[in-house]
Amino acid sequence: MLPRGFTNNIRDGDAVIKINDCGAITLVEDNIKQVRERHEEEIEDFQSNCSHEKISDWIEYHWAPGHFSHYVKICERCGKTIEEEGIFKGIFK
Ligand SMILES: [Zn+2]
């Protein structure tokens, strides 16, 4: 418990939080790991709620620029991979 009137930024794991004199906690600093986790969760929710009505033709999947690995069909709305073909399917994401 912080003494009344005490305000400070403290590090809780990877986040920096601020506790004001009323005891309210505010997130004052993010790091890239937390931003990525939130973004990945948002994408997962978006893809799991998509009905994948418009699917692409087969397109080349490159695990890095210029490094083809296999073919995929993706949902044109949410970007989720719907189908994969090729010996490296499922290996590169
Ligand atoms: Zn979709």
Distance 37 CA to ligand 1 centre (A): 20
55 Cα–ligand 1 center, Å: 8
Q: Please, are residues 63 and 69 in contact by the beta-carbon 8 Å criterion? A: yes
Dig out the tokens for 79 from the structure.
């970007």
Report the predicted TM-score, pTM, of the whole model to 2 decimal places: 0.61
| Ligand 1 mean position, distance from CA 45 (Å) | 11
Question: Does pLDDT of 17 surpass 80?
Answer: no
Could you report the per-residue pLDDT of 44-89, keeping only the tens digit for each?
999 999 999 999 999 999 988 999 999 999 999 999 999 999 887 8
pLDDT at 22 over 90: no
Q: What is the maximum span of the chain, computed from C-alpha positions, in angstroms?
A: 64
- pLDDT of 23 reads 76
Quick one: DSSP state of residue 17? E
CA 6 – ligand 1 centroid, Å:
49
How far, in Å, from the CA of 76 to the mean position of ligand 1?
7
Residue 74 CA, ligand 1 centroid: distance in Å = 8
Average pLDDT rounded to a whole number, residues 33-48:
93
DSSP for residue 3: P
